[in-house]
Chains A and B, each alone.
Chain A
Amino acid sequence: MVGVLFVILAVSLSLMVYKNPPNSVESSRLIGFLGLSLVLWPLFTHQIAADYNNRDQALSTLMLPASLFEKWLVLWVVSGLGFVLCFFSFFTLIDAIGTYYVNHRDWPQATLDYFTQRHISRTIDRVDFTELRKTPIWAVWLMLHPFTLAATLLFRKYTLAIGVFVGILLFGAVFTLNQYYVQLMLDESVTVNNVFPFAGFGVMKETASGPFHYLTLPQPIGNIIRWTVGIAAVGLLYAVAYFRLKEREV
């Protein structure tokens, strides 16, 4: 499964990111990182956790003389920490190769002229994961694992559809509803830009200081609320998964 993950990453990133011009690579690779992980992490987690939905495999695991917490921990480490480590490692490796390829690529003269006109650098640095902090999606990203784990163990059938595809659709719906409710709360003359849960957002309104304004959450209450809600949601989903594992009958 880890090998499949590497191949999917390598092929997807090669086709979607590293064949593009350097400036495009720099702006799109973290989007590629997040986009692929949004699909691959739930799939990976589902593959691991779905063993407990297979009677024969579940039996051999449940009968092993280890505590429920140890079995739970193995599931969490392999599907959660294991995926994150593999995904970051593979991405770093593929990015190193991709960056080398981009920096040493023989561009046609017309393209080089275009880079010069637009002041586009021919070389790029390797990916900087600290940039992820600036993307508000990371908080939702952390919910992927507990959600998929809980959904896979909560439902015994159609878990791939529920845990992965419905999960992704659900997160999409949360984004849409979030934007809808934010818009409802504001004056009609204000246009709300993309609103990510747990983050500030931009609004468009003509004022003396310009058309675009970024609304940040009031602090410290903003951080308290978003951290409390986020941690509670993650904790609740992990608790659901834990107790479903405890109650699993085969």
Chain B
Amino acid sequence: MIQLNEVRFGYTRNRLIYDGLSLTMPPGTIFGLLGPNGAGKSTLLRLMAGLLFPKGGTVRVNQHAPGDRKPAFLEDVFLLPEEFYVPPVSVRAFVESNAPFYPRFDQAQFAGYLAEFGLPDSQRLSEMSYGQKKKVLIGFGLATNTALLLLDEPTNGLDIPSKSQFRRLVSGAADEKRTIIISTHQVRDLETLIDPIVILGEKPNGSIGVALNASIEAITDRLWFGLVLDLTGLPPILHSERVVGGYAVVTENRPDELTDLRNSRLDLERLYNAVQAHPARIQQLFSIQTAYAKP
């Protein structure tokens, strides 16, 4: 369980990125963390990993205060950053020197991931492409079997087949004790993987808050995603854009009036745009009490 309570954080004294951010993330889920550039997605992951210290409020990860950086906490969390350093050693040597730090590291599991990605364990990490290095680290992170796995833009740099491999491997590695948080801009890559969705957005005071934190089921229950020929006669539209053959829209669900609009398929990109365009209405629809909702 991850709990952020009234977290305040900023890189400079004058500008806080988070000013009273509260968020709870239960285990057994693959969270998708979305937000605009500069919204502090990576910062949030680093706060959870204990690499940054909150200026106020508390961050708790499975009863640990991440900022203490205790070995008991660190052996149960793995962070794959967007930009990373790998030592100039072979994959085998990297695993031999790092795996002993993680008590639940599964060598066979890691070998399976490497085989899936088609990577040899004899190759030096420094000789690999960015995408190959990332695959090694993704495999290593999954094989650590830590209770918290933080992945920052994991599909950046992966080729198209690797993205589907990534989805398959991550969904296979998820279990009821594990929390996986994936921060991404590549919403199409992960649409079928992440649930629930956390979208960060700018609050009226300029800081970043949770604009949406909901399961796919709750989202499709309250919102409708579809393609229409024209925009007349629809429930309140939260987002629309012209596409070939009409308009792609996100509307509020009105089950009492338009029962045929129920059970649409979630479109993450359009959901994201709807949330950024109408944060206050989204807050009301999902009943989250934050600075977005008007009194």
**Which positions in A face B, CB cutoff 8 Å?**
54-57, 59-60, 62-68, 247, 249-250
A62 CB → nearest B CB, Å? 6
- B residues less than 8 Å from A59 (CB atoms): 51, 79, 81, 84-85
B49 CB → nearest A CB, Å? 7
The residue from B49, B85, B101 contacting A66, defined by CB atoms under 8 A apart: B101
**Which positions in B face A, CB cutoff 8 Å?**
46, 49, 51-53, 69-71, 74-75, 77-79, 81, 83-86, 98, 101-102
Q: CA separation between A62 and B77, bound complex, in Å?
A: 12
- B residues less than 8 Å from A56 (CB atoms): 81, 83-85
Q: CA separation between A54 and B86, bound complex, in Å?
A: 13
Q: CA separation between A63 and B85, bound complex, in Å?
A: 12
Contact A65 B85 (CB under 8 A): no
- B residues less than 8 Å from A63 (CB atoms): 49, 51, 74, 77-79
Q: CA separation between A54 and B46, bound complex, in Å?
A: 15
Q: CA separation between A42 and B270, bound complex, in Å?
A: 55
Specify the chain A residue showing the minimal Cβ separation from B52. Answer: A249
Specify the chain A residue showing the minimal Cβ separation from B51. Answer: A250
- B residues less than 8 Å from A66 (CB atoms): 71, 74, 101
- A residues less than 8 Å from B86 (CB atoms): 60
Q: CA separation between A60 and B84, bound complex, in Å?
A: 8
Q: CA separation between A164 and B131, bound complex, in Å?
A: 37
Specify the chain A residue showing the minimal Cβ separation from B82. Answer: A56
Q: CA separation between A63 and B84, bound complex, in Å?
A: 12
Q: CA separation between A63 and B101, bound complex, in Å?
A: 10
A26 CB → nearest B CB, Å? 42
- Known contacts: A56-B83, A249-B52, A250-B51. The answer to whether A67 contacts B70 by CB under 8 A is yes
A69 CB → nearest B CB, Å? 10
- Known contacts: A65-B101, A249-B51, A250-B46. The answer to whether A60 contacts B71 by CB under 8 A is no
- Known contacts: A54-B85, A60-B85, A249-B51. The answer to whether A65 contacts B74 by CB under 8 A is yes
Q: CA separation between A126 and B79, bound complex, in Å?
A: 53
